[in-house]
C-alpha cells in the first residue's frame, strides 16, 4: 500500500516535471504554425497549420547566410579543437612529467575564466591584426587547445588502463603511434562527446559573435540573426517562433543521433572527486 | 609528484630493462629523460602557446589597461587608480549591476542545483521509462540561449502568453513577468531552471553510484528516508555537488545572453543585437555586471574602465576556481596512478 502510493507520487512528480520541460517547446511550435493574426490572440491551438511560415522566415531574413556562418564557425572550431586538444589531453593523462598536475590546474583555471574578463585585450589584439568583423578570433585559438575540451578528454583518457599504453610502448610504438593507434580508437566515445559539446557551445554562442561581428552583418551567425529577427518583424510572433524553431532543430536532431555520447560526456564533466 | 617523476625517467617506456641502461644507468636514464622531455614538449606546446597568448597575456594586459584610460584609437593613458575609485564611488550603475548579478548567481545556483537534484532523485525512483524522462528533462538544456530567451518572453507575455492564461484558469491575474522590474530576474531564473538538465544528468550519475548496500544497512537500522538522504546520499555525492555548485556560480557570474535578448525583446526595442537603450530593461533590473562591462568597453569605448570591471569579475571568479582546485587536490582526483 505504501509503496503503491509512493509509486504514484514519484510518477506524478516526474510527469509534472516532464510537462514543465516540454510544454514551452510545444507552445513555441504551435505558435510557429499560426497565422500572424492568430498568433496575437489568446489561442493556443492553430486554426489551420501555416507551414509556409517556415519558408517565409527565409524570405524575410537572410537565415541561410546566418546558418552558413554558424556552420562554418562550429565546424572549423570543432575540427581545430580536435586537432590540438586530443594530443594535449594525452600529454596530461598518459605521459608522466614534472608539472603535469599544475598544468592541469591551469586548464581548469582557463575553463572557469568568464570570457568577459579578457574581452578587452583580446579585442584589441584581433583589431590590430585586422580580424575583427570576422569569426576568426573565435576559431583560431582552438588550434592551441580548448580548455573545456582538454578537461573532458583528459578525464576520459585517464580512465583508459595504463597497461594498454605501456604494452604498446614495449612493442616499440612511438608516443604518436600509441596515441593514434591505441588511444584514439579506444577513446572514440570521449572524442565524440568533446566534439559534440564544442559544436553545441559554438552553435549556441552569442557573446563571441556579438563581440567580433556585431558591427558586420555579413558575418552574423544564427544567434545574432535570431536576436535581430524579432525586432525587424515586431508583431509577427508566429514568424519569430518559426525562426526560433528553425534554430533549435539542428541541435535537437544532433542530440537524438548522439544521445549516448552527450550523456556520457556530461557525466565525465561532473568531476568525480 | 616530483619523486614519482624521477622514477619515471628511469623506467621510461622504450628503454628495455638491462642493456645499455643497466651498464650505464646514469647516462641511459638521462637520455631517456631528455627524450621524454621532448615528447612532452611536442604534445603540450600548443597548449603552452595557447595559454600564454590567449589566457595569460590578456589577463596581464587587462591589469595594465585597468590603470589606464583607453579608447582603442588613442594610446592608453596611465590614470593610476582613477578607474577603481570611479567604479566604487561614482558609477551610478555598477552597483545596480553587481546587485543584479549577485541575485542571479544565488538564485540560479540554488535553483539549478536543488531542482537538478530533485529531478535526479525522481529519476532514480523510476524503474521503467526513466530513459525517456531523462531525455525529456535534458532536452531544453540544449536550446540555444537566444532561442530560449525569445521563447520565454513569448510564453510569459503578460497579455496573451500561455503562462498567464494557465494562471487565469485558477482565477489568478498573471503578473507582468519580464516587464516588471521586480519579477524580470526571477523570470530569468525560471528560464535557467528550464535549462538545468546538465546538472541533473551529472547528479543522476553520481546518485546511481551510491552503493545500494549503504541504504539497505541504514534502513535495517531504522533510518528513515530523510535521514538516509542527509547521512548517506548527500555525503556520497558531495564532490559532484560541489562541482555543480561552482559551475553554476561561474555560469551566473558571466550571465549575459538571456538578459540581453529578453530585455530587448520584452521592451519592444528596434534592435536586439547589443542595443543600449533596452539593456537592462525594465529599469536596469536585468543589467548584469558583464552587460555593463560590455556596454562600457565596446559601446562607450571606455576600455580602461571596462578592464577595471573585468579585474573585479576575475577576482570573484578566481575565488571559486581556487575552491574547486583545492577540492580536486584534496580528493586526489589528479593523482590517478
Contacts of B271 in chain A (CB under 8 A): 228, 231
Contacts of B4 in chain A (CB under 8 A): 96
| Statement to judge: residues B23 and B99 lie in one domain | no
Asked whether the beta carbons of residue A104 and residue B306 sit closer than 8 angstroms, the reply is no
Contacts of B253 in chain A (CB under 8 A): 114
**Domain assignment of residue B79, yes or no:** no
Tens place of pLDDT for every residue, chain B, 337 residues? Answer: 333 333 333 333 333 333 343 444 455 556 666 668 888 999 999 999 999 999 999 999 999 999 999 999 999 999 999 999 999 999 989 999 999 999 999 999 999 999 999 999 999 988 888 889 988 999 999 999 999 999 999 999 988 889 999 999 999 998 999 999 999 999 999 999 999 988 998 899 889 888 888 888 888 888 888 888 888 888 888 888 998 999 999 999 999 999 999 998 888 765 556 566 788 889 999 999 999 999 999 999 999 999 999 999 999 999 999 999 988 888 766 554 4
Interface contacts (A, B; CB < 8 Å): 316
Residue B316's nearest CA partner among B263, B252, B268, B265 is B252
Contacts of A108 in chain B (CB under 8 A): 321, 324-325, 328
Question: Crossing angle, helix A237-257 and helix A259-269, to 10 degrees?
Answer: 80
Asked whether the beta carbons of residue B145 and residue A204 sit closer than 8 angstroms, the reply is yes
Interface test with A, best of B154, B190, B208, B253 (most A CBs within 10 A): B154
Asked whether the beta carbons of residue A244 and residue B150 sit closer than 8 angstroms, the reply is yes
| Statement to judge: residues B33 and B145 lie in one domain | no
CA distance A253 to B89: 51
| Statement to judge: residues B158 and B264 lie in one domain | yes
The partner residue sitting opposite A203, judged by closest CB among B2, B144, B331, is: B144
In which domain, by residue range, is B276 found? 87-331
Q: How far is A84 from chain B (nearest CA, A)?
A: 7
Question: Does residue B78 sit in helix, strand or coil?
Answer: strand
| Statement to judge: residues B43 and B181 lie in one domain | no
Residue in chain B nearest A238 by alpha carbon: B154
Asked whether the beta carbons of residue A272 and residue B201 sit closer than 8 angstroms, the reply is no
**Domain assignment of residue B149, yes or no:** yes
Asked whether the beta carbons of residue B257 and residue A114 sit closer than 8 angstroms, the reply is no
| Statement to judge: residues B264 and B313 lie in one domain | yes
Taking a C-beta distance cutoff of 8 angstroms, is the pair A121, B321 a contact?
no
Contacts of A155 in chain B (CB under 8 A): none
**Domain assignment of residue B263, yes or no:** yes
The partner residue sitting opposite B5, judged by closest CB among A6, A96, A125, is: A96
Which residues of chain B from 259 to 278 reach within 8 Å of chain A, CB to CB?
260-261, 264-265, 268-274
**How confident is the model at residue B28, as a pLDDT?**
54
Taking a C-beta distance cutoff of 8 angstroms, is the pair B120, B207 a contact?
yes
Question: Crossing angle, helix B130-138 and helix B197-209, to 10 degrees?
Answer: 140
Residue in chain A nearest B204 by alpha carbon: A267
Residue in chain B nearest A29 by alpha carbon: B151
Interface test with A, best of B47, B225, B248 (most A CBs within 10 A): B47
Which residues of chain B from 187 to 246 reach within 8 Å of chain A, CB to CB?
194, 197-198, 201-203, 205-206, 209, 238-240, 242-244, 246
Cell 549503504 locates to: B214
Q: How many helices (H) does chain A have, and how many strands (E)?
A: 16, 0
| Statement to judge: residues B44 and B100 lie in one domain | no
CA distance B256 to B181: 17
Taking a C-beta distance cutoff of 8 angstroms, is the pair A242, A53 a contact?
yes
| Statement to judge: residues B209 and B325 lie in one domain | yes
| Statement to judge: residues B15 and B132 lie in one domain | no
Interface test with A, best of B39, B43, B259 (most A CBs within 10 A): B43
Interface test with B, best of A27, A97, A101, A117 (most B CBs within 10 A): A117
The reply to whether ipTM tops 0.85 is yes
Q: Dmax of chain B from CA atoms?
A: 91
**Domain assignment of residue B93, yes or no:** yes
Residue in chain A nearest B299 by alpha carbon: A211
Q: Which residues pair with B78 in a beta bridge?
A: B68
| Statement to judge: residues B260 and B316 lie in one domain | yes
What is the per-residue DSSP string for B107-168? HHHHHHHHHHHHHHHHHHH--SSHHHHHHHHHGGGGS-HHHHHHHHHHHT-TTT-HHHHHHH
Residue B172 sits in a domain whose CATH number is: 1.10.3720.10
Question: Does residue B69 sit in helix, strand or coil?
Answer: strand
**Domain assignment of residue B132, yes or no:** yes
Q: How far is A45 from chain B (nearest CA, A)?
A: 11
| Statement to judge: residues B124 and B38 lie in one domain | no
**Domain assignment of residue B337, yes or no:** no
Taking a C-beta distance cutoff of 8 angstroms, is the pair B96, B103 a contact?
no
CA distance A72 to A76: 6
Asked whether the beta carbons of residue B239 and residue A204 sit closer than 8 angstroms, the reply is no
| Statement to judge: residues B244 and B288 lie in one domain | yes
Contacts of B273 in chain A (CB under 8 A): 210, 214, 224, 227-228
All domains of chain A in start order, with CATH: 2-52 (no CATH), 62-231+242-269 (1.10.3720.10)
Residue in chain B nearest A161 by alpha carbon: B337
| Statement to judge: residues B44 and B96 lie in one domain | no
Residue A36's nearest CA partner among A9, A19, A57, A7 is A57
What the block records as the C-alpha cell of A221 is: 551567425
Residue A118's nearest CA partner among B77, B66, B44, B322 is B66
Asked whether the beta carbons of residue A227 and residue B264 sit closer than 8 angstroms, the reply is yes
In this structure, what DSSP letter does residue A143 have?
A: G
For chain A, percent of residues with pLDDT exceeding 70 = 96
Residues of chain A predicted below pLDDT 50: 272-273
Residue in chain B nearest A125 by alpha carbon: B58
Taking a C-beta distance cutoff of 8 angstroms, is the pair A207, B274 a contact?
no
**Domain assignment of residue B59, yes or no:** no
Interface test with A, best of B123, B151, B196, B270 (most A CBs within 10 A): B151
- The structural domain count of chain B equals 2
What is the per-residue DSSP string for A70-101? HHHHHHHHHHHHHHHHHHHHHHHHT---TTHH
Residue in chain B nearest A44 by alpha carbon: B162
Strands B68-69 and B77-78: antiparallel
**Domain assignment of residue B182, yes or no:** yes
Amino acid at each position: 500500500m505504501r509503496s503503491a502510493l509512493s509509486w504514484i507520487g514519484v510518477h506524478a512528480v516526474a510527469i509534472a516535471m516532464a510537462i514543465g520541460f516540454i510544454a514551452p517547446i510545444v507552445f513555441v511550435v504551435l505558435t510557429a504554425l499560426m497565422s500572424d493574426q492568430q498568433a496575437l490572440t489568446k489561442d493556443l491551438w492553430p486554426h489551420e497549420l501555416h507551414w509556409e511560415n517556415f519558408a517565409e522566415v527565409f524570405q524575410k531574413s537572410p537565415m541561410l547566410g546566418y546558418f552558413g556562418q554558424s556552420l562554418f564557425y562550429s565546424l572549423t572550431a570543432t575540427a581545430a579543437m580536435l586537432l590540438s586538444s586530443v594530443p594535449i589531453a594525452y600529454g596530461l593523462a598518459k605521459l608522466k612529467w614534472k608539472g603535469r598536475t599544475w598544468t592541469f590546474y591551469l586548464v581548469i583555471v582557463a575553463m572557469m575564466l568568464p570570457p568577459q574578463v579578457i574581452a578587452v585585450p583580446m579585442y584589441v589584439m584581433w583589431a590590430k591584426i585586422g580580424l575583427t568583423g570576422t569569426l576568426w578570433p573565435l576559431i583560431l585559438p582552438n588550434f592551441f587547445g580548448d580548455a573545456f575540451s582538454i578537461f573532458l578528454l583528459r578525464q576520459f583518457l585517464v580512465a583508459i588502463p595504463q597497461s594498454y599504453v605501456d604494452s604498446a610502448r614495449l612493442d616499440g610504438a612511438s608516443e604518436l603511434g600509441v596515441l593514434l593507434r591505441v588511444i584514439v580508437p579506444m577513446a572514440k566515445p570521449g572524442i565524440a562527446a568533446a566534439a559534440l559539446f564544442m559544436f553545441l557551445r559554438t552553435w549556441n554562442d552569442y557573446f563571441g559573435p556579438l563581440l567580433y561581428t556585431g558591427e558586420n552583418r555579413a558575418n552574423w551567425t544564427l544567434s545574432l540573426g535570431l536576436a535581430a529577427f524579432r525586432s525587424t518583424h515586431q508583431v509577427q510572433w508566429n514568424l519569430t517562433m518559426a525562426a526560433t524553431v528553425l534554430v533549435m532543430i539542428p541541435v535537437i536532431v544532433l542530440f537524438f543521433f548522439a544521445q549516448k555520447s552527450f550523456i556520457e560526456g556530461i557525466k565525465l564533466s561532473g568531476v568525480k572527486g | 609528484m616530483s619523486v614519482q617523476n624521477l622514477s619515471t625517467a628511469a623506467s621510461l617506456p622504450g628503454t628495455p630493462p638491462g642493456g645499455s641502461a643497466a651498464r650505464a644507468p646514469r647516462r641511459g636514464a638521462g637520455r631517456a629523460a631528455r627524450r621524454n622531455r621532448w615528447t612532452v614538449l611536442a604534445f603540450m606546446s600548443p597548449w603552452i602557446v595557447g595559454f600564454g597568448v590567449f589566457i595569460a597575456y590578456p589577463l596581464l594586459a587587462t591589469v595594465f589597461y585597468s590603470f589606464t584610460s583607453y579608447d582603442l584609437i588613442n594610446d592608453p593613458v596611465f590614470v593610476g587608480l582613477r578607474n577603481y575609485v570611479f567604479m566604487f564611488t561614482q558609477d551610478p550603475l555598477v552597483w545596480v549591476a553587481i546587485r543584479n548579478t549577485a541575485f542571479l548567481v544565488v538564485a540560479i545556483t540554488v535553483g539549478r542545483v536543488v531542482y537538478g537534484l530533485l529531478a535526479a532523485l525522481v529519476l532514480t525512483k523510476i524503474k521503467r521509462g526513466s530513459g525517456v524522462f531523462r531525455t525529456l528533462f535534458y532536452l531544453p538544456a540544449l536550446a540555444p540561449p537566444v532561442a530560449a530567451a525569445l521563447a520565454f518572453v513569448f510564453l510569459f507575455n503578460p497579455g496573451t502568453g500561455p503562462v498567464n492564461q494557465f494562471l487565469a484558469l485558477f482565477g489568478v491575474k498573471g503578473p507582468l513577468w519580464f516587464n516588471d522590474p521586480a519579477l524580470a530576474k526571477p523570470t530569468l531564473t525560471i528560464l535557467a531552471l528550464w535549462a538545468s538538465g546538465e546538472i541533473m544528468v551529472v547528479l543522476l550519475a553520481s546518485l546511481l553510484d551510491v552503493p545500494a548496500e549503504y541504504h539497505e544497512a541504514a534502513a535495517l537500522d531504522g533510518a528513515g528516508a530523510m535521514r538516509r538522504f542527509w547521512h548517506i546520499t548527500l555525503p556520497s555525492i558531495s564532490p559532484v555537488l560541489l562541482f555543480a555548485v561552482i559551475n553554476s556560480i561561474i555560469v551566473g557570474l558571466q550571465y549575459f545572453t538571456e538578459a540581453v535578448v529578453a530585455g530587448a525583446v520584452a521592451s519592444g526595442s528596434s534592435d536586439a543585437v547589443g542595443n543600449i537603450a533596452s539593456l537592462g530593461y525594465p529599469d536596469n533590473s536585468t543589467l548584469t555586471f558583464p552587460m555593463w562591462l560590455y556596454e562600457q568597453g565596446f559601446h562607450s569605448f571606455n576600455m580602461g574602465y571596462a578592464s577595471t570591471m573585468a579585474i573585479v569579475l576575475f577576482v570573484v571568479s578566481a575565488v571559486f576556481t581556487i575552491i574547486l582546485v583545492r577540492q580536486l587536490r584534496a580528493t586526489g582526483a589528479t593523482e590517478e596512478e
